A and B are shown apart, each in its own frame.
Chain A
Amino acid sequence: MTLVVKSDSYVRDQIAVANMLRDRKRVFVDLLKWKLAVVDDEYEIDQFDHAGAVYLICSDADGNHRGSLRLLPTTAPHILGSLFPDLCDGPVPTGPNVYELTRGCFSPRISAAERRMVRNQLATAAVEFALCSGIDTFTCIASGALYSQILALGWMCEPLGLPRPIDRILAGALRIAVTRETPRLLVEAGTYVRSPLEMAAPASLAA
């Protein structure tokens, strides 16, 4: 199941959120050695985990975190705009219809094949969430092999600028277009994997 968590549903979904933040610490801090703040020795939380952030959280039947993605509104501080605007040749794309995909994270406990599945589920969920929330553009920063993997999902991408080294790894910024055609592009690429998407009420999504 993929949960859509917004700040107004933190309390209801606090276990899923806590499991995600634990895995983010394991993956980004312990495994990848990113220099990020850790809260209570257990959770990776940064300044962008603010009230506007939306999380897509994929869990197994027992509620264990399998993978997650953070969507940041670009009308508030976000990574491309605040930390790496140089990755964009022109102005950083922002606006109410533009969200940034960040902190794509997989549980270190799942296999490579499961990771592909969860990756597809999260991309599919992101597209569905975008289509029902009026989002038409995702931006993201991808480094190393991740860049090709994002293109390989089959959605329409274009570069926002030339890749540059960040922490000695070449990283580039991308724009992903989301339209009614996007689910079909994912289907054609074999990456469209629907999982039950549990969302907050449409009324609060629109708010």
Chain B
Amino acid sequence: MVKADGLQDFVRRCNLATDEQELFALLDEETRLLGFEQFAMTHHVDLSSAPEDSITITSYHPAWVEKLIERRYFADDPILSASSRTAVGFLWSDVGKMIDLTDRQKEILEMARRYGLAEGFTVPVHVPGEYQGTCNFGARSLDKLAPDALPRAQLVGAFAFEAARRIVRARRRVGRRGDIPALTARQLDCVTLVAIGKTDWEIGRILGISESTAHEHIEAARKRYGVAKRTQLVIRALFDGQISFSDVLQ
């Protein structure tokens, strides 16, 4: 019996998804297969002015999403608050055991219930150095949950969030310009040394190559990026993650 079989298909389709609409459709379908009715995959950011690198994909009732934003419920949302206390998924019915609910938080839970979010399961997605995130699955009741729905939801949340991160990254790259030019390992070494202020001669000495070879590597990298100056090359390579700030600042 292969329990994660359907999930592997979901993961493959996530990996192929190229925009939020596709991911929405995949998550919507998977949410129903798990036995839930609505989902929300979101970064914990100010939803009234969400940063462009943040993720929010949800099938929650639009009127509820509007209330979440308008009344700034997201800032006090007990589910999000509980999610920062744990690395693994939890049932909403356990939130009261995880945090002390304020009156406002009880009010939020009661309001959510009216929009079909009476019960649910939340998968925290904590990636160091990024906004905290969650993938939430809600329903009017848990009566229709599929077998193994909770561990499956854990994986669905983790892989869907990763797919969303990839889509956001790709869009940011396209927004700036085309694909990242492929630089050779040697070109990357040279660009890193340019970034810390080395001359062609010094780079040649450090890498054990001639000054003119070093010069050619840098010029080739500059042309691949289609930029006129070395400074532009360094900045683009840094922003694309081809070379890292730590390489340059150490």
Contacts and interface: CB of A to CB of B under 8 A. Distances in A.
Interface of A: 89-90, 112-113, 115-117, 120, 144-145, 147-149, 151-152, 154, 156-164, 169-170, 172, 184, 187-194
Interface string B227-248: 0000000000000111010110
B2 interface: yes
Interface string B169-190: 1100100000010100100100
Given A117-B246, A145-B126, A158 B162 contact: no
Contacts of B161: 148, 151
B158 interface: yes
Chain A, interface SS category = mixed
Contact of B87 (A116, A145, A156, A191): A145
Interface of B: 1-5, 7-8, 11-12, 15, 87-89, 124-130, 148, 151-152, 154-155, 158-159, 161-162, 165-166, 169-170, 173, 180, 182, 185, 188, 240-242, 244, 246-247
Contacts, number: 99
Nearest to B161: A148
A194 B189 CA distance: 9
A158 B182 contact: no
B188 A162 contact: no
Nearest to B89: A170
B148 to A, nearest CB: 6
A72 B242 CA distance: 29
Given A89-B3, A115-B128, A172-B155, A187 B11 contact: no
A151 B158 contact: yes
A115 B185 CA distance: 24
Given A144-B88, A157-B162, A170-B154, 4 more contacts: A112-B129, A117-B244, A148-B162, A187-B242
Contacts of A116: 128-129
A137 B129 CA distance: 27
Given A159-B7, A194-B188, A152 B165 contact: yes
A184 B182 contact: yes
A162 B8 contact: no
B244 A193 contact: yes
A192 B151 contact: no
B189 to A, nearest CB: 8
Contacts of B155: 159, 162-163, 172
A117 B124 CA distance: 23
6 contacts: A89-B1, A120-B244, A158-B12, A163-B154, A192-B242, A193-B244
Contacts of B159: 151, 157, 159
A190 B8 CA distance: 25
Given A158-B8, A184-B182, A147 B158 contact: yes
A161 B129 CA distance: 28
Nearest to B189: A194
Contact of B88 (A117, A160, A170): A170
Contacts of A158: 8, 11-12
A15 to B, nearest CB: 22
B221 to A, nearest CB: 14
B162 A152 contact: yes
B246 A164 contact: no
A160 B126 contact: no
B150 to A, nearest CB: 9
Contact of B125 (A148, A184, A187, A189): A148
Given A89-B5, A187-B242, A156 B15 contact: yes
Given A144-B88, A148-B158, A193-B246, A164 B151 contact: yes
A86 to B, nearest CB: 11
